[in-house]
Amino acid sequence: MHRFIMITMTLCVLILASALAWAAVEAPTDLKLGPPEGMRVSKPLVNFSHGKHNAAKIECTTCHHNWDGKSEVRSCSTPACHDQPGKKGTTAFYTAFHSKKSETSCLGCHKIVKKDGKPVPVSCKACHAK
Ligand code: HEC
Ligand code: HEC
Ligand code: HEC
């Protein structure tokens, strides 16, 4: 009898765990980031690795700052988010990645962690690598 209960419980835990794993949103591995359709491309596209940032223990919601942790993750350039051409204002596409005032833009964060001696790109060419 004991054995039967143990097996049933183990099965329940396994089923629950796989259901949770299936429901969780997965971060794509390696991305090449570029401007949204209709915006001019003037720089080489940027390599981005979720794996390296996850390993550095950065929360998903540090970057995906409007994400609720369950629903679909929206692109940075979703209309009315960071989809404007030019360099001014928080809705500018450029600002999302280069703002020095924000600790959560690519450049804003890298400038801070570079001071701790971490190997992070901070020059145009290091991110926009050919
Ligand atoms: C250091 C910043 C950063 C962190 C941390 C991060 N992401 Fe991302 N993620 C990005 C960027 C940038 C993109 C590309 C967005 C775009 O295409 O506009 C992206 C794209 C995605 C996409 C694809 C969205 C699409 O446009 O189809 C998913 C899904 C995703 N991330 C999930 C996650 C999850 C889950 C985590 C946490 C485990 C995570 N991300 C952590 C920056 C980050
Ligand atoms: C909140 C902080 C933070 C943000 C935001 C962030 N990074 Fe990073 N990034 C890091 C840290 C920390 C590392 C170093 C990881 C390590 O220890 O090697 C890193 C490493 C990197 C590297 C070098 C490692 C590699 O993948 O070759 C690249 C390239 C990079 N980031 C690109 C980006 C881009 C592009 C964005 C914006 C879409 C971004 N990062 C946003 C903290 C951040
Ligand atoms: C930490 C990484 C990082 C650094 C450093 C960086 N950028 Fe970017 N930049 C990005 C990301 C990510 C995007 C969005 C993806 C894309 O459009 O290539 C972007 C987009 C752009 C865009 C709009 C898209 C395009 O092709 O025109 C311009 C312009 C730009 N960057 C210029 C610069 C310049 C100039 C510098 C140096 C002063 C610089 N970037 C430094 C990550 C970076």
Place of tokens 């833009």: 105
Phi-psi region of 126 (alpha: psi -120 to 50; beta: other; left: phi over 0): alpha
Q: Is 120 in the pocket of ligand 3 (CB under 6 A)?
A: no
In one-letter notation, the amino acid at residue 33 is L
Tokens of residue 19, six digits: 């259901």
Q: Please write the tens of the pLDDT for every residue from 52-110.
A: 999 999 999 999 999 999 999 999 999 999 999 999 999 999 999 999 999 999 999 99
Least Cα distance to 98 among 118, 68, 128 occurs for 128
**Domain 27-127, CATH 3.40.50.1820 — does that match?**
no
**pTM (2 decimals)?**
0.90
Choosing from 63, 67, 84 the residue with most ligand 1 atoms within 8 A of its CB, the one to mutate for a pocket test is: 63
